[in-house]
Homo-oligomer: A and B are copies of this chain.
Amino acid sequence: MEQGIIINRNTKAIRDSLKNAGIQPSASRMAIASFVWNTDSHPTAEEVKIEVEKAFPTVSLATVYNTLNLFVEKGLLKEVQDSNQRSVRYDCNTTPHFHFIDEATGQMMDLDPEVLRISPDLSKLGAEFKIREIEVTLRGRKMGTPQDKVKQK
């Protein structure tokens, strides 16, 4: 029953991804990418900063935001809304998928796109609606076994 996807790229793969997107793989960008591409926790900018500081103590918050925004622009990350509706979270899973938010913990989990079938009824929607993206979030509780908390590589 594994919904989450952890990208887990190594240093070389990360460097190549950045170069590929036309981004110079500077040290701070590498540090930020290494963190966001190896977690499925949908971190906030502040959480990214806290983690990245461990490896790279001089990184500034402005650089964290600049870098995350750059990654979003280049399609390497997606922005998603935190459930408090106040801050942004960053999602390294840029493939179409859905989210489940546990309302007790606030934790945002990826859902495999196969768990939901979504069919727009064009006859009712009207052809004048040009859809670019469908965003779906489920909210509720996940009654998980403790093992569910364990991250696997």
* Chain A contacts to B: CB under 8 angstroms: 1, 79, 81, 85, 88, 100, 103, 111-112, 114-121, 124-126, 128-145
Contacts of A141 in B (CB 8 A): 129-130, 132
Contact among B103, B114, B132, B142 for A139, CB-based, below 8 A: B132
Instruction: Kindly report which residue of chain B lies nearest to residue A100, judged by CB atoms.
Output: B129
Q: Known interface pairs A118-B118, A120-B116. Does A133 touch B138 (Cβ–Cβ under 8 Å)?
A: yes
Contacts of A100 in B (CB 8 A): 129
| Interchain CB contact under 8 A, A132 and B121 | no
| Interchain CB contact under 8 A, A143 and B118 | no
Most buried by B among A88, A117, A135, A137: A135
Contacts of A144 in B (CB 8 A): 128
Question: Can you pick out 30 interface pairs between chain A and chain B where the beta carbons lie within 8 Å of each other?
Answer: A1-B126, A1-B128, A81-B81, A81-B85, A85-B88, A103-B132, A112-B124, A114-B121, A114-B124, A115-B120, A115-B121, A115-B124, A115-B125, A116-B119, A117-B118, A117-B121, A128-B144, A128-B145, A129-B141, A129-B142, A130-B140, A130-B143, A131-B138, A132-B140, A133-B138, A133-B140, A134-B138, A135-B138, A135-B139, A136-B136
